[in-house]
A and B are shown apart, each in its own frame.
Chain A
Amino acid sequence: MSRHQNHRATGLVGLALCAASLLPLSCRQPRKITQPPPDDRHAPYNYVGRRAMVVAAHPLAVEAGLEMLRRGGNAVDGAIATAAALNAAEPFASGIGGGGFMIIHLAREKRTTVINFREKAPQLASPRMFKDRGEEEKEWRTSSGLAVAVPGALAGWDLALRKYGTRTMAEALTGAIAIAEHGFAVSPTFSSINKDEYERLVKNVPEGSCYLNEGLPYEAGERFRNPDLARTLRLVAASGVKEFYQGEIGRKLVAAVQAKGGIMTAEDLASYKALELEPLQGKYKDVTILTAPPPASGGLHLIQFLNIIERWPVRTWGQNSVPYVHHMSEALRFIFADRERYLGDPGFVSVPVHWLISKDYAAAVASRLRDDCPLESYPYAECKQEEKDAANTTHLCVLDGDGNIVALTQSINDFFGTGIVPEGTGFLLNDHMDDFASDEQSINAPGPGHRPVSSMGPLILFRSGRPFLALGSPGGTRIFSSLTQIVLNVTEFGMGLDEAIEAPRFFSFSSGGKPGPIAVEARFPEEVISALRAMGQEVEVREAYDKYFGGAQGIMVLRDKKIIHGGADSRRDGVGAGY
């Protein structure tokens, strides 16, 4: 058996085990996934529905969302049920100890809105808080109490449900509670991430924590249960989100943060509010893009990127051809400079959003690029921001029978967050303070109540005023690059949704005016890699399906065929289901 076949086999065993774990939920309703996915988990496969669809990074979460829809809930109810279920089924990537952004399209009102439930810095945060402690000590930024920003997930879910949902929080948490209670067989993805983050977990999780199996990482196939989380979610279901922000759970949360040297107070937690915002709008040819505005940066940079790309004959060049990868990598390096220079929390600093997403600005950037070789240097901010390798976060999309759509990205930042679990609660606390810049002069320096710049970018794309694609991805700073490539794969190269998601990806960046290498998946043809190197580009070859590039999920509406396609990324454990 080849190594690749081996990997597929391991993945299939994992998916089969996950499917077996679905039984407690599935017993209540028959599953109606149209046809079984192919043996090769990486082979493009669109989940098909006629009325509704859920896609997410774990089959149990998809099942929870779909069940909510079957019981008459709308897309918002389904999205919150899925988001909560991910806390139980994919706890290393998101949960009530974190935050995120969601974009909601309301079909009847023909209106789209955004909910920002990004974490915010405690009131005692200050611009020098990183510098004073020595920037070289990276570890405390990701695994101490100081790394924890005030969580926003439950406030965001609650706002969405109250304003646009039809079900209660208690109903939305039902699936998550069942998953946490019954448990499931750990997938190879879960196991490998558990091993990767072992050091942080050993340091922070209490003895006997469910996040390690008798003190060691889980092996694929071993059962993961989280009764503490089930109990916590039951408390929230019974008493509402105030139990989290002002009650016993909140007290435990603040105590855990402070015990690990953090500065969060009960007042920080009690005063947290999710925000409803107007979506940011962009245009690529005949496609209108609606997305979350700053401090989310993924959507903004995607619009910038597409504005630049719009000027190039990408269809003639061909997908992942040498000129395509070269030009796009060069453009990415300019966009990263903008990220360093201009992106912060618009509640506190001025972000030149409209200039950044203007076609004139895109033309100016495109004119500076060379066709034959990389530039010697790129624009930069005086306050350099570090590029991170982390591939965390999660994304889900839900479409209901009325045409309402939700695209939701949420995170606890690094996989397993800080590794800190408030006593007896079963949920992990985020390390999103690490998303602030170290330099006190940076526009993204920490400050009281500030929300750190995020790379998230949940999107809904429209043609002729009608939504046709909902999309999003985890993947840190690779998010907008990966989403752009998927959008181009669909709109320029005529790919089906999952084919577009599974296609090989690349990424580049700049930091402090210096170019980063072009990272490519190992599936890139050797001749493309050689030609890029011959042009003077440094190329770094990563795994064939590398979660470094994200784990995108999307829903595409094919109106001419009267069907819906769900696409879910095999770089993680993405799946979909529809009816």
Chain B
Amino acid sequence: MKNVVGIISGICNSAALESLTKSRPISTVPFGARYRLIDFALSNMVNTGIRTVGIVTPYNYRSVLDHIRSGKDWFLDRKSGGLFFLPGNDRENGGSGSNFVLRDLLENMDFLKKAREEYIIISCSSIVMNIDYREAVSFHQNNDNEVTFIYKDEGFKEGESEGVFFIEQSGDRRVKEIIPGKQRRFNGSDKALLNIVIINRETLTRIVEEYGENGDSDLFDILGEMIDSLRAYALEFRGYAARISSLKNYYNHSMKLLDSRVRNELFMRKNKIHTKITDNPPTRYGEKAEVINTLAGSGCIIDGHVEGSIIFREAQIEQDAFIKDSIIMQRNVIGKDVLLENVILDKFVTIKDGTVLRGEPGNPIIIEKAAVIGPEEGDNEKYNLRSG
């Protein structure tokens, strides 16, 4: 993959996950017991053999820098090529709805011009998938494409597809039309773009120079307008892909990791998903631990009952705690006799002894980063919270 450069947009849908994206962009939202969402996009590029990757930074990107640092954990600390941070414009509103703001690429024109590679793969950072781009790149090269999209039929229902682009193709896989989700016709195409595009560097440079000054134009909108004049094709991705675009589907897609087929596809292949290495000890299960159907990271100390849950690195769960259908993030401390059901705890949360938090199925309670939840000193009433 000597001839390909990667660009990852940290911006797409960056404010979509309510309080999970209050202090961080969507790229660094924790996922799957030890990962951040951007790990998937970044690992896919590295595993394909791409050795130069630019990351367009979203608003509030401290957590992106903290997570990726020199790129060493993705083997991107290179003498030639390597990892580049491309400061994006779009800081305030988090670019909700936008995927690839052309103005951000214009600001980083030097990166595009300096590259000697002919092709660019642009990907957003909020889709969980394990894809090797080699097949798509050879199709792009052999078929002499200018643009190659990757799509998947995700079975979107009516009214669910805002922010998603769909395509109509002709028989030879050429893209005839790009349809924004809002304008999707009843019984229209089910081919949803996975926010990944392979594009000739020359074509991209031309588009950025022509449209980049133009407000917050989105690359996909512009490609849609230009579609007739482009050699644009699309390939289907048949593997597992989870598009994270709301708190609800974040929760549901997290829980799908408990399915061995999903886990095998994401984590057990030759191409591994890389993440920041933290050197935790293994996880310790206590005498009284009762854990079933749960995915757990390293460095946890688990003494309570856990089922149907995702437990991130270094969480502590004390005796007689009962946790069901919940997402427990890094360094959460769950006290004795706590009951959690349908709950998402952001990082560093402490749940004091005896607290009960019970969300409704499909409507989890979410607790903000570093919150301390539970009864005040001397308060004998149990702390009790329900969603709804």
Do chains A and B stick together as partners? no
- Give residues in A with beta carbon < 8 Å to B: none
